Chain A
Amino acid sequence: MRVGRRVVLRGLGATLALPFLESLGAGKVHAQAAPSPTQYAFFFRQASGVACAQNTGEIGEEPERFWPRSKGALDAANVQGRALDELTAYLDRLLVVGNVRYGDFNWGDGHAAGALAALTAARPVVEGAGGDSEADGESIDHRIGRELNPPGRDSLFLYASSANGWLGGPCISYRSPGQKRAPLHNPQDTFGAVMGAIGDPADAGAAFTAARRKSVNDVLRGQLQSILGHPRLGEGDKRRLDLHLSTIRDVEVQLVCQRDENIERELDGVDQIYQSNAGPDIWRTARLHMDIAALAIACGYTRSAALQIGVGNDGTSRYEDPDTGQLMENFHYISHRRLSHGSDGGVIAGSDLMHHKVDRQFAQAFRHMLDRLAAYAMPDGMTLLDHGVSVWYNDNGNGPGHSRSNVPWILAGSAGGFLQQGQYIDIPGSAGNHARLLNTIGSAAGVRKAGGGYLDDFGDAGLRNDGYTGLCSELLA
């Protein structure tokens, strides 16, 4: 990344000096195109399905409130009255993917089958264990960061809502099979992580700090190497030490990313509310994470970020009813249409409409991220939004049934012309076809196999055996 050429951030009310971000340029991506150094992926996760057309035992016939009316080109009429109309300003940059189906593995729990599999396309480590298992594979957000970020720099895994709960709370991102990642929960920590890793070569203090840390790091590296040399060390211990060793990195002073006063101002007091399960607090936390994630992508800190809202089933978050200003029942109850995390409990009258209101709030939050990314103007005339792909996805297809079929995946941004835009397209196939979608997103973000080819084998080997390799060609530009 070159230093000295600047792009300017618009829209945050301040001028932010950024490094020049290379661009792909306009036009279609040709097969096996070399990745751009600024391609990226952002994942925004919603749990417990959407309010779509269905017949539920609790409510009866529920109308379609989410999906566009017809496949093909997206326009305002196509999405009017649907949750997606919150994204009307970005319809020409959306790719609404239909018929996404998760693998038919024996998770023993509808939420685990979505939350733990959506970004991994993996089976459970222990079959049928329900909430007691983990995903048996790395998640795509981590894979992108592992391959494209500077060495030792994890992709951002961000989280909003209360800390503990179903599936352990934060649960969508996996470093390796069975190894769940810890999220950054407090946006202040996210900001500190991003800004703390970046030094300005013009700042004498930063260079001073870098020199001191290097002296300390040299000692730490020697100690970790000494432990790694122990003849009886087990494989698990080696893996953890290797990870630790990879994090001992010296301050990089080749990047320039000035602090943003607006974000810093918004961060004030967020440490008091970031673990709250109340909707307004959740969205404030989420939007701050998004602001920082956009900044981190723009600054070249990371090529991948994932933001999870709510615990495994989002069963603690209580979103606000915009019509009354009151907090509704927790979202999982609403998705069940009942006062229960199970299948008992009384029916919640109007819960299908409540679900729709929650969907709209997720759409509004996603739009916030798109606004932020679109605010970064690139030298090629595009915006940062167009250089990558931002994904709003769900763990489940619908409410009470928590289906694994037709799960919403809403993509925004063409990744530099890699993906189609302004379309609602079904991908072919049955259970497990979403492994191809993850290949497509990973490739759009710039992941390439050793020989330079697109990522085509992500996810569980069983899915590959079922033929789910390669990319979703119908989604490519």
Chain B
Amino acid sequence: MRRVRQLGQCVLGAPNARVVLLMCGLLACSGQIEEVDGAGGGRRDTRGMLSGGSRGGSGVTGNDGPGSVGDGANSGSGPGAGPRVDLPMDPDELAQVPLSDVAASVSPSPETRLPRLTHVQWQNSVRDLLFLASDATLPVLRPDPVSAGFDFTNSGATLEVDAFLHDGYQQAAEDLAGRVTADPTLLEKILPAGSRDATTGPETFIRGFGLRAHRRPLADEELEAYLALYAEGARHYPSLSAFEAGVRVLLEAFLQSPYFLYRWEPSEAVSGDLIPLGDYEVASRLSFTLWDSMPDDALFAAAEAGELVLPEGVAEQVQRMLDDPRAQPVVESFHAQLMNSSKYDLIAPSTSVFPDVPADLGQSARQELASFVRDVAFTKERGYRELLTSTETFVNADLARLYGVSGTFGDAFVKVQLDPSERKGLLTQVGFLAAHATSADADPIKRGVFVAERIACLHISSPNDASPPPQPMPGSTNRQLIESHTEMPGSACAGCHAPLINPFGFPFENYDATGAFRTTDNGFTVDASASPLIDDTATPVENALELIDALAQSPQVHACYARHWLEFMHGRHVTDVDEPLATRIGFESQSAAELSIKELVETVASSRAFLNRSTEEAP
């Protein structure tokens, strides 16, 4: 659950990048960075515990047990450390520091050591581990609880294994183990060479398959435990050959192992002000962050070769991974969650008011958003500015009609140019507009709250429990009704609605409850003008298009977007320590050069904060 900072009755604190940066400066710049500079925070140039040679074998270090397996390169400060600089407190000065230097200088925040795989990550990992087809049917796990506030679904510290999920994992493991061992083709795919050797086969299988299941080389005691379990296979599955029986019961265990179900980060050796991650930990961080799945062979090879504790090694892998199609669903998922597109499914305009609206408008809107994001991020390789301001989108026949696009359309989604005097980017797409509406009319309050909180990262206090309903105002516009209800001078509501909420919502009054463009409301000309608070300044706009332009030019809005990415990629809430990087990315994203989404992700994935652990554990 997100713990919001609340300064004053209505807004104004945490999300204000300038304020946060000042707070952060006191923490990070005067303390930690000074210490690190003294500790020689340059890039790691030794191989730590593994440099002595154990990596060539199992990668297991001494007698430290599974907790230190394969993660030994723990001296120095790891990739992303680069040449560290003292980050200025003033945002304008920070804007002059090269982005790469900021990324190389930010410290990691406390994080869970064992984020549980999301169900999407579990499904992808199962398919990759067992070499199943991408469309192979997998058992369905019980859904995870949904946070009352806004959290990405990969918030690692909140994902747990309760009794019912354990039962699901168990059932799935047994089903999958049975499916694989009953199919000679599938079985052969998972067997490392030499697995059928009568003498060494079991160990060969356990070491080879175990490396991929645990995503690191196995420790000796783990190998022994699995060998013992293999030996019991014949007793548990007497109708199978000893080998297949052993493999089947091993698969059941591997698929339920906490080392498979969690992304376990055991590194503990402190270097300076942080704990560097080992190669295999980095490989998993990268793969689950960028692909929502386990590492592939190239990542395992890079980890084996010790390349993932080197900045250039990480950069090479990140670029390769972002160019891989597996990155696209992840970027789509980020934006789907950011825009709360699951809510689109609930879009249900009143059929008495909108008799022609299609029943599956929400599903079309979700598809539109996904296609649009994929196009901007991967085809155009553009950034947040383009997401906010593009006049292109993807439509089927229903959406084309709603947007007023001429031509012949069917069920397929095709790229079209929208009327630039009516539409611009994410916030004028049907999904956002119709999901933030009543069944009969636009809802400027919900639209305003969403833009203020999600897009501008401003905090808004909740309304009083007993807010009175507005009285009907025949002969008025929707805006006039909301104004009369929420902006009465001196009222409790006016404190937040007048300066903050309504100015972010009224510019969208040109769009009705279905997202269709309108110039009149209840027979009156729509007034979409407002003065929303952008970059700490009330900014006059005439309509949504001007609001969007103002948002797209705001470094704080771009920093807000970066903050969401930091949350998503770290699987935790942002902290003050993250703010310099968010702020600096915001500048770069907003600038004429426009940091692309791929570049943004690459920056975070290569940062010092991403590739190291804090010396402080998450509470």
Contact = CB atoms under 8 A, between A and B. Distances in A.
Contacts of B114: 227, 237, 240-241
Interface of B is mostly: loop
Contacts of A167: 148
B63 interface: no
A128 B163 contact: no
A240 B160 contact: yes
A344 B163 contact: no
A216 B249 CA distance: 7
A402 to B, nearest CB: 7
B11 to A, nearest CB: 13
A243 B262 CA distance: 14
Interface string B333-351: 0000000001101101010
Contacts of A107: 462, 465
B192 interface: no
Given A164-B343, A196-B167, A220-B256, A189 B463 contact: no
Contacts of B348: 330
Given A215-B236, A237-B112, A180 B617 contact: no
B258 interface: yes
A51 B236 CA distance: 59
Interface residues of A, number: 94
B503 to A, nearest CB: 17
B163 A152 contact: yes
A246 B443 CA distance: 47
Interface string A223-246: 110110111111111001101101
A243 B160 contact: yes
B446 A342 contact: yes
Contacts of A118: none
A163 interface: yes
B504 to A, nearest CB: 16
Interface in A241-255: 241, 243-244, 246-249
Nearest to A189: B142
Nearest to B440: A339
Contacts of B158: 179
Contacts of B6: 126, 128
Interface in A148-194: 152-154, 162-165, 167-171, 175, 178-186, 189, 192-193
A248 B446 CA distance: 44
B619 A343 contact: no
Interface string B457-497: 00001111111111110000010011001000000000000
A71 B23 CA distance: 59
B469 A232 contact: no
Given A108-B461, A133-B149, A220-B258, A233 B113 contact: yes
Nearest to B439: A339
Contacts of A171: 145, 148
B443 A344 contact: yes
A128 B145 contact: no
Contacts of A197: 167
Interface stretch (B221-229, B419-427, B540-548): B221-229
A330 B349 CA distance: 12
Given A184-B164, A240-B160, A400-B469, A342 B171 contact: no
A340 interface: yes
B320 interface: no
B524 interface: no
B67 A230 contact: yes
A58 interface: yes
A129 interface: yes
Contacts of B113: 230, 232-234, 237
A223 B259 contact: yes
A93 interface: no
B330 interface: no
A280 interface: no
Most B CB atoms within 10 A — which of A175, A186, A312, A339? A339
B164 A170 contact: no
Interface in B425-463: 438-441, 443, 445-446, 461-463
Interface stretch (A3-11, A109-117, A289-297, A466-474): A109-117
A340 to B, nearest CB: 5
Interface string B345-362: 110101000000000000
A180 B440 contact: no
B4 A132 contact: yes
A232 B267 CA distance: 9
Interface string B1-16: 1111010000000000
B148 A237 contact: no
Given A193-B167, A216-B256, A247-B161, A234 B110 contact: yes
B198 to A, nearest CB: 22
A128 B113 CA distance: 31
Contact of A346 (B144, B346, B440): B440
Nearest to B1: A134
A168 B619 CA distance: 24
Contact of B225 (A110, A222, A400, A402): A222
Contacts, number: 245
A347 interface: yes
A34 B446 CA distance: 53
Contact of A134 (B148, B236, B343, B439): B148
A247 B162 CA distance: 6
A182 B462 contact: no
Contact of B258 (A57, A108, A113, A223): A223
Nearest to B236: A212
Interface in B516-534: none
Given A165-B346, A344-B485, A219 B162 contact: no
A367 interface: no
B232 interface: yes
B253 interface: yes
Contact of A185 (B143, B249, B446): B143
A167 B207 CA distance: 45
B62 interface: no
B95 interface: no
A230 B461 contact: no
B165 interface: yes
A215 B229 contact: yes
Contacts of A345: 438-441
Contact of A236 (B149, B157, B237, B478): B157
A163 B171 CA distance: 23
B229 A216 contact: yes
A131 B149 contact: yes
Contacts of A116: 148
B67 to A, nearest CB: 5
Interface string B124-151: 0000000000000000101111111110
A130 B440 CA distance: 25
Contacts of A234: 110, 112-113, 617-619
A341 interface: yes
B144 A182 contact: yes
Contact of A168 (B116, B147, B165, B438): B147
Nearest to A130: B462
A153 B163 contact: yes
Would you list the 7 A-B pairs with minimal beta carbon distance, nearest first?
A108-B462, A130-B462, A132-B149, A168-B146, A234-B617, A247-B166, A343-B469
15 contacts: A108-B464, A109-B462, A112-B148, A116-B148, A129-B462, A133-B1, A133-B149, A162-B345, A164-B342, A164-B343, A223-B222, A234-B113, A236-B157, A244-B258, A344-B482
Interface of B: 1-4, 6, 65-67, 110, 112-114, 116, 140, 142-150, 157-158, 160-168, 170-171, 222, 225-226, 229, 232, 235-237, 249, 252-253, 256-259, 264, 266, 268, 342-343, 345-346, 348, 350, 438-441, 443, 445-446, 461-472, 478, 481-482, 485, 617-619
Given A126-B3, A129-B462, A237-B113, 19 more contacts: A109-B463, A130-B463, A154-B162, A164-B146, A164-B342, A164-B343, A170-B145, A170-B146, A175-B162, A178-B1, A182-B162, A189-B164, A212-B236, A219-B225, A220-B256, A227-B264, A233-B113, A237-B114, A343-B470
